[in-house]
Amino acid sequence: MPETDAIKAGKKILICDDEKTVVDFLALFLKKEGFPDVDIAHEASAALEKIKKTSYNLVLLDVKLPGMDGIQALQEIKTINSKINVIMITGYPDVDTAEQAVQLGAYDYIVKPFDLAYFKLAILTKLLLE
């Protein structure tokens, strides 16, 4: 689809999750979907350092991370750059955490295991609305 290819062109995505299998899967999925510029981090502090140095269009951020959790990281991300789009991902769904994430500026809150069609739609929709 030419219109979605245009959306994907030049977009930088950062995946932050402490589960290597999740990060590897998401990076492979995104690259196969036409997003060539995907970075990874396994903890919030590493993600924040990358965000300070690189202009990302989208961050996929796990809620439960070692050290600083995803909610704290979301607050820091929005302090660094309020325009960065963040989608929270979690294997431990919780309504209060989802509400808090959205109030802090997260675009979406997606539960693992992923519905890949919804996951792709959420990413494309957010990048289209940029």
Predicted structure pTM score:
0.92
Average pLDDT over residues 45-70: 97
In a domain, 76, yes or no: yes
Alpha-carbon distance 92 to 5, whole Å? 33
Number of domains in the chain: 1
In a domain, 39, yes or no: yes
pLDDT greater than 90 at residue 13: yes
Summarize the chain as % helix, strand, coil (round to 5): 50, 20, 30
In a domain, 71, yes or no: yes
Average pLDDT over residues 36-45: 96
Which domain does 83 fall in, by range?
2-121
Q: What is the CATH number of the domain that holds 8?
A: 3.40.50.2300
Write down the pLDDT at residue 7. Answer: 66
In a domain, 104, yes or no: yes
In a domain, 74, yes or no: yes
**Degrees to nearest 5, angle at CA 10 with 29 and 128:** 75
In a domain, 49, yes or no: yes
Per-residue pLDDT of 78-130, as tens digits, reads 999 999 999 999 999 999 999 999 999 999 999 999 899 999 999 988 887 76
Per-residue pLDDT of 14-28, as tens digits, reads 999 999 999 999 999
In a domain, 129, yes or no: no
Write down the pLDDT at residue 26. Answer: 96
**Beta strand extents in 3-130 (DSSP E only):** 12-16, 37-41, 58-62, 85-90, 108-111
- Taking each helix axis from N to C end, the angle separating 95-103 and 70-80, rounded to the nearest 10 degrees, works out to 10
Which residues 6+ apart lie within 8 Å of 62 measured at CB?
16, 17, 18, 19, 22, 70, 88, 89, 90
